[in-house]
């Protein structure tokens, strides 16, 4: 399968320079290493891995736009509140993220939000 058609696993973190969480890069780099081994084995790849431990609002918007309908797993780690994922350059509003994902023909199989207060966003 062409790599531009493979399902994508997004490992995104919003490591805040103002309020650093040392566990974010560690968590994501461990996941990246585990999944990267699967991606790089000698068999045909089953997915494409996109690892970004310091994403910004614009980066998220650009990457989601380029991967519309191909995202199998979206894993977020970082600061959050009931309405937003927090990045150094501002906030990613959960209702905007939900609207983007709902507009796709195929939604992600799994969305994993590991933030300070993601329970309201899950709903």
Asked, for residue 1, whether it belongs to a domain, the answer is no
d(CA 65, CA 60): 8
Domain hosting residue 72, numbered range: 8-122
- Residue 117 structure tokens: 């207060």
Give 81's contacts (C-beta < 8 A, 6+ positions apart): 116, 117
Asked, for residue 2, whether it belongs to a domain, the answer is no
Burial 79-97 (b: 16+ CB within 10 A, else e): bbeeebbbbbeebbebeeb
Report residue 71's pLDDT band, with 50, 70 and 90 as the boundaries.
Answer: very high
Place of tokens 């790599």: 3
d(CA 103, CA 97): 10
Residue 16: the pLDDT is: 66
pLDDT exceeds cutoff 70 at 6: yes
pTM of the model: 0.82
CATH code at position 105: 3.40.50.1460
> How many domains would you assign to the chain?
1
* Residue 101 β-bridge partners: none
Q: If you average pLDDT over residues 17-32, what whole number do you get?
A: 80
Asked, for residue 3, whether it belongs to a domain, the answer is no
């Amino acid at each position: 399968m062409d790599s531009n058609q493979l399902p994508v696993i997004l490992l995104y973190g919003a490591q805040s320079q103002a309020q650093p969480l040392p566990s974010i890069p560690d968590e994501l780099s461990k996941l990246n290493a585990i999944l990267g081994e699967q991606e790089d084995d000698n068999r045909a790849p089953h997915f494409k891995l996109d690892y970004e431990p310091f994403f910004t609002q614009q980066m998220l918007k650009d990457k989601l736009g380029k991967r519309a309908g191909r995202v199998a797993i979206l894993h977020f780690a970082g600061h959050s509140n009931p309405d937003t994922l927090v990045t150094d350059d501002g906030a990613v509003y959960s209702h905007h993220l939900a609207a983007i994902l709902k507009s796709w023909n195929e939604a992600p199989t799994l969305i994993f939000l590991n933030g300070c207060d993601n329970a309201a966003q899950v709903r």
